[in-house]
Structure 1
Amino acid sequence: MSNTTLKPTEGEMEILQVLWEKGNCTVREVHEALDKKDSGYTTTLKLMQIMHEKGLVDRDTSSKTHIYKALVNKETTQQHLVKKMIDNVFNGSAARLVMQALGNKSASKEEIDLIKEYLDKLENK
């Protein structure tokens, strides 16, 4: 199964976010970045080992401390997950997703300006 068809779990997404933000990391660095009081280091280690088996991350074992890096692209993963959410939760309607997202959280003026700019670009295509 290719990593593009995988659906990362919530915990795996949290780890991927750390790797996307920080780049290559040890398990310890990821665990500290997650700052989870309710789970231990070994939980993070096990999850990252599973992610390696699934093809979501790669690890460099050339030194004593293994270094992990994301194998999946952030934008591609986000697009895949949003598409699945639109299809499964919003009955295929991107408009419903956007209205729900904007209705639940007040967007900043900068965010609204970015959305307007994006919509203008779509309209002018």
Structure 2
Amino acid sequence: MSEQLRELTRAEEEIMQVLWDKGKAYVKDIIEVLSEPKPAYNTVSTIVRILQQKGFVGHHAFGKTHQYFPIISKEEYRKFVTTKLMSGYFGNSVGNMVSFFVKEKKVDLKEVDELMKILEDLKKK
């Protein structure tokens, strides 16, 4: 994982989700997928360039047109965000995090049972 990895803004993350799903895209392709109201072309272009400066996105130039692609994988970013969430809000405790989600009714008991099965399977390895 990149030592320079930083959390994305909501708009940046929305564009990264499109690039992770598509693999590569032009700005117009990104706009097509975004929900209404569609942002302006220049807005999306600016956000993509910011993502490029942050090291999340690369591009291939075709004349004056650029095709963008993710450099940071979705899995790499997920690990970064999860680690930040765990350390910042749950004292690096999976138990505290699961307990929170159960109390907030974001995870039901069936899902907790599934988590327990996964953990038991991991212990056997």
Compute the TM-score of the two structures, normalised by the length of structure 1.
Answer: 0.79
Superposed CA offset, 1:41-71 (max 9, x none) = 2211111111111111001112443110000
Which runs of no fewer than 5 residues in structure 1 stay unpaired? none
Q: Which has the larger radius of gyration?
A: 2
Aligned length: 123
Aligned to 1:70: 70
- Would you say the 8 A contact 1:59–1:67 is kept in 2? yes
In structure 2, distance between residues paired with 1:69 and 1:37? 24
In structure 2, distance between residues paired with 1:35 and 1:68? 19
Aligned to 2:53: 53
- In the TM superposition, residue 75 of structure 1 has moved relative to its aligned partner by 1.0
One-letter amino acid of the counterpart of residue 96, structure 2: R
One-letter amino acid of the counterpart of residue 87, structure 1: S
Aligned to 2:28: 28
Is the alpha carbon distance of 1:33 and 1:113 closer, same or farther for their aligned partners in structure 2, counting shifts above 3 Å?
A: farther
Aligned to 1:105: 106
In structure 2, distance between residues paired with 1:73 and 1:112? 28
Aligned to 1:121: 121
Is the alpha carbon distance of 1:80 and 1:39 closer, same or farther for their aligned partners in structure 2, counting shifts above 3 Å?
A: same
Compute the TM-score of the two structures, normalised by the length of structure 2.
Answer: 0.79
> Bigger shift: 73-82 or 39-48?
39-48
Which runs of no fewer than 5 residues in structure 2 stay unpaired? none
- In the TM superposition, residue 124 of structure 1 has moved relative to its aligned partner by 2.0
